[in-house]
Structure 1
């Protein structure tokens, strides 16, 4: 099979979600064997769909907040050439609504889960002297945008990414992180169905005047995982339609020029 990732085994967490499914199809379309992980059993149907489309795929139902479950899943799935730590969630939108148990849950489900998956695949990558890890963070790691536990976890993922790049570069292993802004996933489509103006409100804050599409995140992840980015490691790259470039709403209100 030809393609950018021919012969590569690509593990993708959160595979059943909007970005996750897009990642599976992008990597699979470029020749990769997909190892799809998700806490939802929908990932099993996804693997069947990929296989029906000619993409070799295996699936594991696993809650990545459990290091033991993660270790077992990767032991069963086998070697991993590329790991995409895509899984994540937030269930506590404010600090006031976050109790200690909630804080720990969001931290384990994001930062802890990404660490557990990384820990599981690194020995094999070290032995083969090659590998790529791409973490999917969030612009929340850079700004206070709500969801404080989730945001803290994503900020921690930046630090973890840089630590991996520093320590494991000598083994030919690269680690990078993408920081998406608001992405048009089913979750946001559901919110838009309830409040048709929610996306219009969000788009005001993005210099490109729109939110991010899942494929736009997936393409940057694929670039970072590919040989085209062979000298890129330890990078944190926003994929956010310009959100982190500056405060466009404030700029428009303060400037005399109407742009």
Structure 2
């Protein structure tokens, strides 16, 4: 990374769920451009390992469903770095759908909503005064294409749709305070959840994604870096799809239609 691309020199960023996957890739990307990064994650060993591998990074153990831990994490960032410029709400939870909605346990539904949506609210609430004080504050929420189209995961989809709405309302609240708020909706991302299923995920990419592959954590991290940077200084309240064209083109329909034409 050249000095000309060090957009985050002097910045401090806090990333929830930052120990692995998209969170880890985002921490690495922001740090590569000069940011000091605090990784907030529920897994202490993974957070410690990732932070140790990123120059200038620190970590804090945090469950985003615990208000005290959230406030402690934000306070730690401000105390450790002297400021807070960027918040990335990446932590999430998911649960399998039951065959019938009436069989869905309420506790599992509530936990997903609490982590994915209310957790982002908790962090935004705690961080907002410090982001305002920085004079260049930015929040980037990590949503999902599930917010827009049914891909199963009822609670997860509802939470991510709610997060998109919260992003817009928070942008209106944060704008006069100099804080921009945006969301990224990724498609399928090849994280450790797909380990051992490389053939399947490759086939998924070819079948459903116009760009011929599923996403990588770095694809999302690149978008986060843009939205958090001064390059996006006049962008707020928007949701950016990082989905390889999944929602723009009905790839499976076109393949079926093509096969039908071949048979004619």
Compute the TM-score of the two structures, normalised by the length of structure 2. 0.89
Task: Say if 2:168 is the partner of 1:162.
Answer: yes
Matches within 5 A, 1:245-256: 245-254=248-257
Shift of 1:128: 3.7
Question: Once the 2 structures are TM-superposed, how far is the Cα of residue 202 of structure 1 from its aligned partner?
Answer: 5.0
**Equivalent residues of 1:165, 1:233 under 8 A apart:** yes
Q: RMSD between aligned alpha carbons? A: 1.9
Classify the secondary structure of the residue corresponding to 2:53: helix
What is the Cα deviation at residue 257 of structure 1?
A: 6.8
Query: Conserved in 1, the CA contact under 8 Å of 2:93 and 2:111?
Result: no
Q: Match of 2:10?
A: 7
Structure 1 position 207, deviation (Å): 1.3
Name the CA distance, whole Å, in 1 between partners of 2:227 and 2:87. 11
- How far the C-alpha of 1:198 sits from its partner, in A, is 4.7
Q: Measure, in 2, the Cα distance between the counterparts of 1:237 and 1:156.
A: 15
Q: Which residue of 2 aligns with 1:73?
A: 73
Distance across 1 between alignment mates of 2:25 and 2:178: 27
- Return the alpha-carbon distance in structure 2 between the equivalents of residues 201 and 98 of structure 1: 28
Whether the 8 Å contact between 1:37 and 1:61 is mirrored in structure 2 is: yes
Q: Deviations over 1:165-217 (max 9, x none)?
A: 11111111111100000001111124x06xx3354145311111210111111
1:84 partnered with 2:88: yes
How far apart, in 2, do the equivalents of 1:128 and 1:57 lie? 19
Matched, 1:233 2:236: yes
Q: Is the CA contact (8 Å cut-off) linking 1:92 and 1:149 kept in structure 2?
A: no
Distance 1:30 1:129, change over 3 A: closer
Report the more deviating stretch, 215-224 or 63-72. Answer: 63-72
The equivalent position to 1:186 in structure 2, one of 174, 182, 192, is 192
1:48 aligns with one of 30, 47, 52: 52
Alignment of 1:1-259 (within 5 A): 2=3, 3-41=6-44, 42-50=46-54, 55-78=55-78, 79-94=83-98, 96=101, 98-190=104-196, 192=197, 196-254=199-257
Task: Give distance in 2, aligned partners of 1:36 and 1:128.
Answer: 19
1:129 Cα offset (Å): 3.8
Cα separation, partners in 2 of 1:216 and 1:201, compared to 1, 3 Å: closer
- When residues 257 and 245 of structure 1 are mapped into structure 2, their CA distance, relative to the original with a 3 A threshold, is farther
- Unmatched runs of 5 consecutive residues or more in structure 2: none
Alignment TM-score, normalising by the size of structure 1: 0.91
- Secondary structure of 2:139's counterpart equals strand
After TM superposition, give the deviation of residue 98 of structure 1 in Å. 2.8
Q: Which moved further from structure 2: 206-215 or 91-100?
A: 91-100
